[in-house]
């Protein structure tokens, strides 16, 4: 199974965002991870439609849009229109999750659902067959450069078991505290997609760090 690396531009230099997007384009990265935060679901604000649209103009990789917002149904169509390829919503923010997932697919995007660190994988048992992706948060969402939560490995085992029962094609993504010290173990534990922000953009050679992450082997 091929490893997928999705650098998170939340950690990029926003004064030189085009430069950082072009670095990703030339690197071994597969996707560009875009974190959308509303200051309500998580205690932080990030980018909106104009920035995502600007990123799309320069990006040569699919945009993996992660909505850390309340009532995401209001904005799914707009994010699809400005360039999202995949849209991931949070289980904790969606009272009518099946409807939300259906809306994402109707807008032409693949559909993901994220789980916060405290949310058990079993919550997805009735919808996992309808999903393209599950995002396991390995930090509490809202800020970059947090410490990786070790319980993530248990959750990866749980989602792999659920996938084997109901959706063998499910993509498993991990976001938070991912770096060269744990990438190989995460791939071995069942992750296919790793989101890396601070570990990429704070490194002396971001493109080499991306390559190292992609080629990580336990």
Q: Which two tokens stand for residue 180?
A: 């060269």
Summarised one tens digit per residue, pLDDT across range 142-168 is 666 668 999 999 999 999 999 999 999
In this predicted structure, what is the pLDDT of residue 18?
Answer: 97
What is the per-residue pLDDT for 145?
A: 61
What is the per-residue pLDDT for 218? 55
pLDDT at position 144:
62
Of residues 155 and 218, more confidence is placed in: 155
Cross-strand pairs, 111: 87
| Mean predicted confidence (pLDDT) in 169-187 | 96
State mean pLDDT over 82-111: 98
DSSP code of residue 126: T
Q: How many Å apart are CA 114 and CA 68, to the nearest integer?
A: 9
What's the order of all strands across the beta sheet hosting 171-175?
Answer: 4-7, 193-196, 171-175, 133-137, 110-115, 84-90, 63-68, 32-37
pLDDT at 43: 86
Cβ atoms of 115 and 134 within 8 Å: the answer is yes
Point out the residues that are catalytic: 35, 175
What's the length of the chain?
218
pLDDT in tens, 15-52: 999 999 999 999 999 999 999 999 999 888 899 999 99
Check residue 2 and give its pLDDT: 84
Q: Which domain holds residue 159?
A: 4-214
Q: For residue range 97-146, what is the model confidence (pLDDT) as tens digits?
A: 999 999 999 999 999 999 999 999 999 999 999 999 999 999 988 666 66
Number of structural domains in the chain: 1
pLDDT at res. 166? 92
Q: What are 188-199's pLDDT values in tens digits?
A: 999 999 999 999
DSSP letters for 151-209: THHHHHHHHHHHHHHH-TT-EEEEESS--TTTHHHHHHTT-SEEEESHHHHTSS-HHHH
Give the domain CATH number at 81.
Answer: 3.20.20.70
pLDDT at 172: 98
Give yes or no for residue 55 having a pLDDT over 60: yes
Q: DSSP letter string over 31-69?
A: -EEEEEEBSSSSS-B---HHHHHHHHHH--S-EEEEEES
């Amino acid at each position: 199974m091929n490893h997928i690396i999705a650098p998170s531009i939340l950690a990029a230099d926003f004064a030189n965002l085009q430069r950082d997007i072009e670095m990703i384009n030339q690197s071994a990265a597969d996707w560009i991870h875009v974190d959308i935060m509303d200051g309500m679901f998580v205690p932080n604000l990030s980018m909106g439609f104009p920035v995502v649209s600007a990123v799309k103009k320069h990006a040569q990789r699919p945009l993996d849009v992660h909505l850390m917002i309340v009532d995401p149904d209001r904005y799914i169509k707009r994010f699809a229109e400005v360039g999202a390829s995949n849209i991931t919503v949070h289980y904790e923010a969606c009272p009518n999750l099946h409807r939300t997932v259906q809306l994402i697919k109707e807008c032409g995007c693949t559909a993901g659902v994220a789980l916060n660190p405290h949310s058990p994988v079993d919550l997805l048992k009735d919808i996992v067959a309808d999903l393209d992706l599950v995002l396991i948060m390995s930090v509490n969402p809202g800020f970059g450069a947090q410490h990786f939560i070790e319980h993530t490995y248990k959750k990866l085992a749980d989602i792999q078991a659920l996938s084997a029962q109901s959706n063998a094609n499910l993509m498993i993504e991990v976001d938070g505290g991912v770096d060269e010290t744990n990438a190989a173990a995460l791939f071995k534990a069942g992750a296919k997609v790793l989101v890396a922000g601070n570990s990429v953009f704070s490194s002396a050679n971001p493109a080499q760090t991306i390559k190292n992450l992609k080629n990580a082997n336990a």
